[in-house]
Chains A and B, each alone.
Chain A
Amino acid sequence: MTGPGATGTENSHVDGRGSHFVAANAIRNVIIKWVMHPSARWAPLLAACTGLVIAGSTWPDGPASQYALWGTLAGLSVASAAARVLHGKPQQGTADSRHVRVVGILSLFSVLATVGAWLAFQHVVTHGEVDVTGQVHTRGVQPLDDTGHRTLSLLLDAPALREPRNALRLTLAIDDHDPAGPTCLPDTSATVSLLTSGVAAQTRTVRPGDTVDFTLGARARSVRIDLLLHTAHGCRMDVRATGAVLHDM
């Protein structure tokens, strides 16, 4: 047996579901109206292309691999936006609701991909790797040897550090000064020390071609790395930075 109270509860559930349904339907209709509006045909493509132009004009450089996610999403956004533009009106006899669904999905996908690409690009801008290899200066006389000239300083000035990153990855090439003479590479190594104000001193030992990471702290204004060469008697070596990349740890 069911009483009036029970019937009343059932009605209120139905009413709740119904109001949700009405609201969802209203939103759907608004989206469909927006998506199907003649002026909205080009909007996703315009947004995707605008994003590409802004990214190109503010390109922060660094290794190409860090742009993989951005590139994928940007490509998808442009492709889906272009597909939306090219997707013509349905022919006579084709269901109109199917056309609306395809256009809606393409538009939504393109907008989401554009937003995702923008966020990925901003992440690269804020935390991505910055190649400063060309801005490393050396102070000291080369070639270095095992006696009088054993030290060299590698410097990065403020302009190289304008993008705030908390670590520096450094790759050092140590080569024979005279490649036509006997090679000293198997007997050569170097001690490199980060000496930068406000950052704890860090010392590493490297072999020719090795890469080392130094922590720079929150905001280093200049970087100085002192290098002490260890090599065999009579050897003369040249040192240069073949890679210097600022990054966030």
Chain B
Amino acid sequence: MASSSSSSSCSSSSEKKITLKSSDGEALNVEKNVALEFEPAKGFLEDNSEEADDEAIVVPLPNVSAAVLSELIPYVKQRLELSAKPVQKKLIKAFDDQFTRHLSDDKLGELMLAANYLGVNYLLDVLCDVTADRIKNKSVEYVREFLGIQNDFTPEEEAELRAQCPWAFEGVDQD
């Protein structure tokens, strides 16, 4: 996946490193430009810009686990490199596809949350597309579980709603 190819470019860039601290306490070193892609980190860095030594800054990201972050960082790095060059949209799309193709549903949800929290909109768009694609033929129950939504309908209400448009429930994939 993306992480393997990005390791080489990591060393070549002489960018300043920023340390990100995940929800489970792990510290990850990233280039500053990558860190700036994350809204909370960006805000944090701006707030603490008077500090001379960037190396010393540790940005806490309390809502993102290290596992997700380590998935995210190479993607963002790669994506930044791609968009810096005058590459075709196709290439970016191909890259996105490659990134999302192997994601499990759980991972997808986690990434979506992280992307939302970190404000990485381009990733969020991609993930939304993928999610929509995955759930479009799924049952209501599946979607509730997938997105973690509580069913707040009474059984009667739900039955009534379902009766309104039975056609919509035709041809639903097995969960």
Note whether A and B form a binding pair: no
